[in-house]
Amino acid sequence: MADAALARRAIRLLDLTDLSDQADEAGLEALCARALLPPGPVAAICIWPRFVAQARRRLAGTEVRVATVVNFPSGEEPLPQVAEAIEAALHARADEIDLVMPWRAFLAGEPEPARAMIERARALCDGRALLKVILETGEYPELAQVRAAAELALASGADFIKTSTGKTARSATPEAVRCMLEVIAGAGRPVGLKPSGGIRSLADAALYLGLSDAIMGPDWATPQSFRFGASGLHQVLCDAWAGEGGGRASGPY
């Protein structure tokens, strides 16, 4: 696929993200404006919960969805607090909830906290918002654990499974994404995938889209089934679409 066509395809699958410590209202306005630039719009913006209401007002009447994060980035908040945060985000009219599952407990051999949290989130989001569950796969020593976490998330009601918060040293990898796609392929119901963190180049986008095309079929990856979680990638893709730039983001996720 030519660079421009690939860039256009990837932009429409992008969750344009600002989860930096410096995020503010002015930055949100700029993010919303970027989300609508040609050759977009992007699929969604992903922002801190405190900005959801402002984003809804700014993006009213557009195709861009508003996603926010809960139990983020640690994955260690107590269930009542997480449930309260989800309810608040839904009240502010978030379209999508990106939930970090309690992955440390899961890796320690305690899957029940993750199961309980995802099931509670599913009950709250049902009919109101898309539930995207973050596994934090870069922290898993073995691919078998990635597979088990993905299977648990799907069994507990996730609409999407997402690799990473982007806040750890190691984020999305092709190996983890392949494993997650294989779990999705055997799910028996529609489930989406969101590679996230460390995706900074046109080649990265091509790699992950190529995996999804090979495993799920060339028509599978749409905004309803596939997202990229990234911030700096947007400008790289815009440059590639316009025939400019070096194909790689210069800043951190």
Active site residues: 98, 162, 194
Distance (Å, whole) CA 116 – CA 133: 13
8 Å CB contact between 98 and 132? yes
- 11: closest CA among 228, 247, 249, 207? 228
* Backbone φ, ψ for residue 100 (5° rounding): -80, 120
Sign of CA dihedral 132, 115, 117, 76: negative
Helix (H, G, I), strand (E, B) or coil at 148: helix
CA atoms within 13 A on the CB side of 183: 27
DSSP summary character for residue 248 = B
Sign of CA dihedral 195, 152, 191, 64: negative
For the chain, the C-alpha Rg in angstroms (whole number) is 17
